[in-house]
Amino acid sequence: MNKDLVPSFSVVSLGCARTLVDTEKMVQSLQGKGFALVPEGHEQICVLNTCSFIQSAVDETESNIVSLSDRKRRGEIRYLVVTGCYPSRFKKPELKARYPEVDIWLTTHEEDRLQAELAQLVFRRRFLPSRPVRYTKLTPSHYSYIKISEGCDNWCSFCTIPKIRGKHTSKSIDEIVKEAELQVSFGAKELILIAEDTTAWGEDLYGTPSLPKLLDVLETVKGVEWIRLMYIFPSRVDDDLISSINRNSKIIPYLDMPVQHANTRLLELMHRRHTGDRLRDLMKKLAAEIPNLVVRTSLILGFPSETDAEVQELLQFIEEYPFAHLGCFSYSEERETKSARIEPKIPEDEIQRRISRVMGRQYDLVIQRNKTRVGERLQMIYDGNRVGRSYREAPEVDGRLLLVDPKSLQPGDMVEVQVIGVDGLDLTVALCS
């Protein structure tokens, strides 16, 4: 390619917010070397950042590779790059043989080589001069995901992530604060801390998990209004974390804490390091000690050998310990995990029945609770398109506040609203005068 031409690229980011954060980094690194981000359909280079932690994510990744390979064969794109979890999980020589149209494969640990590899491929040289870069965000500018560590050492028996993403490695406080300040300079009022396990943060730096230490520092970052904690590992929640949430006004009382199940036998088979009783004690303690706490969780239904009585126990658990938001995953057998050897397997149609029972019960519980909330006043951050959120709702995954008359509100504005009705899992709200 002519050295003076500006190569254009598009990105496709699959999977969760953790992948999106990596995608944003790759976008910055390419823009910093003179590559221009353009919408899909107008690019010379396409970068596909992938997810592959369960079979359905693998299927989605592979269908994207197939359709992008077709586009390359038709001459619509010139170069195809695949990064992230998918090439981390599978062997590169096999992937290269299977998808010859892909020019560059980079694992999650190799993503910082993207610009050098593309420079070599496009310009036949390893290094390109750096250029001033206009920061491009792939999420709205008023909230921002901050990844505080990489990898996971928990080795839950059903999970491929420790194998794909490697050992847990924390980012330093300085690096995280710098990132937070950068995001604030682009308009972020809400920081959402993410990792595979946010409560493990600091273990590799200080010899013991130290999330409260990080929270105390983030509390001092000017311009931040809310700091939200996601991916909390239940057995690591302790008094220090609870008091850190209580003493720091910007750490909102919202915990995304995937509990996976409530039955001790299954939790042990899952290697979750806590029993059903410990989980119940924790839920009681959190509710008693953190005022106005909201907990979001996710569950796995259909883990091998799960009985009907154990599903019943789970239903009882969500009635007794209410979760504001709850998502269910169907167990996905991944051959390299320990749980793949547990029998008997639960048929997929039975798993779906179990999910419907749990989600149906959760739906009824949320509607009942929502009805009692009419008249409540809330501080809301406006996301645009008549939709907002209070501290009780994380973006993209939880219920929403539907605003009847947004007047001239702009995304990121924080205003007081009153709940005037219930619309399924969402609440209808009006601006307070």
Per CB under 6 A, residues contacting ligand SF4 are 152, 154-156, 159, 161-162, 196-197, 233
Distance of CA 18 to the CA centre of its chain: 5
Kindly state the smallest distance separating residue 90's Cβ from ligand SF4, in Å: 18
Report the residue number, 270 or 403, with the smaller CB distance to ligand SF4: 270
Kindly state the smallest distance separating residue 49's Cβ from ligand SF4, in Å: 18
List the one residue out of 161, 325, 312 whose CA is nearest residue 254: 325
Q: Are strands 426-431 and 414-423 parallel, antiparallel or unpaired?
A: antiparallel
Report the residue number, 45 or 161, with the smaller CB distance to ligand SF4: 161
Kindly state the smallest distance separating residue 152's Cβ from ligand SF4, in Å: 3
Report the residue number, 256 or 393, with the smaller CB distance to ligand SF4: 256
Distance linking the first and last C-alpha atoms of the chain = 60
Q: Are strands 377-384 and 387-389 parallel, antiparallel or unpaired?
A: antiparallel
User: Are the beta carbons of 373 and 419 closer than 8 angstroms?
Assistant: yes
Phi, psi for 62 (deg, rounded to 5):
-65, -35
Report the residue number, 18 or 400, with the smaller CB distance to ligand SF4: 18
User: Are the beta carbons of 374 and 419 closer than 8 angstroms?
Assistant: yes
Phi, psi for 193 (deg, rounded to 5):
-80, 125
User: Are the beta carbons of 183 and 226 closer than 8 angstroms?
Assistant: no
The amino acid sitting at 50 is T
Kindly state the smallest distance separating residue 210's Cβ from ligand SF4, in Å: 17
Kindly state the smallest distance separating residue 61's Cβ from ligand SF4, in Å: 18
What is the distance between the alpha carbons of residues 166 and 109, in angstroms, rounded to a whole number? 9
Kindly state the smallest distance separating residue 199's Cβ from ligand SF4, in Å: 9
The amino acid sitting at 360 is G
334: Cβ–Cβ under 8 A, 6 or more apart, which residues? 53, 54, 55, 158, 159, 160, 340
Report the residue number, 304 or 399, with the smaller CB distance to ligand SF4: 304
Kindly state the smallest distance separating residue 108's Cβ from ligand SF4, in Å: 13
Report the residue number, 194 or 401, with the smaller CB distance to ligand SF4: 194
Q: Which residue has the tokens 């682009």?
A: 186
Report the residue number, 226 or 331, with the smaller CB distance to ligand SF4: 331
